[in-house]
A and B are shown apart, each in its own frame.
Chain A
Amino acid sequence: MHVREAAPDVSLLTVGMCHPLPLERVRDFVHSVDRCFVIEEGDPVLYEQISAAGLVVSRPPQEFRFGEMNVQRVRQLLTGESSPEASGPSPKPPELCKGCSHRQVFSVLSKHELLVSGDIGCYTLAALPPFSAMDSVVCMGASIGVGLGLRHALGSQDGRRVVSVIGDSTFVHSGITGLVEMVYNPPESGHVVIVVDNGTTAMTGQQEHPGTGRSLRRAPTSRLSIEGIATAVGVDRVEVIDPVAESNRFERTLLEMLASEKCCVIVARRACLLARKAARRDTSRATATHVTVGQCQQESE
């Protein structure tokens, strides 16, 4: 569609299947035109396959490997002009909600200038100002592995500043194996993992997970205990702390753990503000249903 708009009169071959590429169709098409451009977003996947087949086609410039394909890019490609893309003031970035308990956690991490190995969730927003308190984010569950790697690589002196931060749902998804690694191959300086437990999967829309005690349909089910898991795998010290109501205890415990050279876990537990709002709504709905059922029973008796 970007091509149709940028150049309504050119011949266009749209490839429905890019692997395996319908090479004969592509070959016929390339031979039928004066010049052929490959329009693709990201890596030059089609370009490489077509070139490898001995066909001469023009490829998108290297800088187009990043960002989205759009009408302007197609125009530039066809005309060969390379004017710089629009720049200027940035849009307002997202931020942690006002009153979010993650704010308390990251203000402490920022204050003590710790090296924070982060993970995927709302709390990844702490990488942005004003906190700027996240130094690496790789993929779900990587916070613990990367943090342990940093501890090992940096040695006991610099390594003791490293903290891993992971959310509750990400912890359930792929953090548990990291904890096992921590106690199996403990770094010389120990390690500290903070599980920021807001009792929901907040970033993606407040889905339930095994640590919430409710199924995806919000029905009650057994709740995975994060602190129980940590204790069971053999973590030396496990503390559950409300980072807002017990902010002093949170900071004190974190510093103690960093100095202890032991493998430690803090479960920083405080419910997500947005989820609490939703829970109240659910509760009132549940109560309303209950009343109706009760009335029905009375009527039938």
Chain B
Amino acid sequence: MSSVTNVVFVGIGGQGVITASDILAAAAFEDGFDVKKSEIHGMAQRGGAVTSDVRYGATVFSPMIPTGEADYVIVLDVTQVDYASRFKKPKGLMLTPLALGDDLFKGQRGTNIALLGVLAPHLTLSMRAWEGALLSHLKPELHAENLQLFRTVAERTRILS
């Protein structure tokens, strides 16, 4: 199963955990991978933790990532970092809002898109697939702002790494 990329998204209801995981799943699908995703949702308006697993590769079986085997753990809320660390494999990478520079990114809204921007250079998915998925999952009035945010963060991550 080493050909499968495992990404877990963790956050609190209302932060866009599900949207972020939908965008990644759609981008991977667009690039021709077998994709499966699962989620724990419904807590959006009650402030509970929300998690979503995305797995893609040549062939994916189980839709759930075994605990401790995620390649990437994307944490949208800093209070959930301790909880989320159980999902990461020893050499996996955890991305949190702390990875986002203050100068580029202000405030809570868009954390999900900005973190996808940080994630994108680590994966092999095409920018065309990423941007197509982003546009199809956001309302038209949010397109320009989020596309710019995604591109800027992705570009900066690419230069820094």
A residues near B, CB below 8 A?
A: 1-2, 4-5, 70-72, 85-86, 88-97, 122, 125, 274
Q: Name the CB-closest residue of A to B10.
A: A91
Contact of A97 among B45, B49, B64 (CB under 8 A): B45
Are the CB atoms of A91 and B48 closer together than 8 Å?
Answer: yes
Q: What residue of chain B has the Cβ atom nearest to residue A202's Cβ?
A: B45
Q: How far is the CA of A120 from the CA of B45 in the complex (A)?
A: 17
Q: In the bound complex, what is the Cα–Cα distance between A122 and B45 (angstroms)?
A: 11
- Chain B residues with Cβ under 8 A from A70's Cβ? 62, 64, 66
Task: Give the B interface residue count (CB, 8 A).
Answer: 25
Taking Cβ atoms with an 8 Å cutoff, the residues of B that contact A are 1, 10, 12-13, 43, 45-49, 51, 61-64, 66-68, 77, 79-80, 82-83, 85-86
Please, which residue of chain B has its CB at the minimum distance from the CB of A95? B47
Q: For chain B, what secondary structure do more than half of its interface residues adopt (helix, strand, loop), or is it mixed?
A: loop
Which secondary structure dominates where chain A touches chain B?
A: loop
A90 to B13, CA, bound (A): 15
Q: Is the CB of B83 within 8 A of A90?
A: yes
Cα A95 to Cα B44 with chains together (Å): 11
CB distance from A8 to the nearest CB of B (A): 8
The one of B47, B51, B64, B67 that contacts A94, using a Cβ cutoff of 8 Å: B47
Q: B48 near A92 (CB under 8 angstroms)?
A: yes
Q: How many Å lie between the Cα of A89 and that of B12 in the bound state?
A: 15
With contacts A86-B68, A88-B85, A89-B83 taken as known, whether A2 is within 8 angstroms of B62 at the C-beta atoms is yes
In the complex, the answer to whether B82 meets A94 with C-beta atoms within 8 Å is no
Q: A86-B86, A91-B51, A92-B79 are in contact. Are A71 and B66 (CB under 8 A)?
A: yes
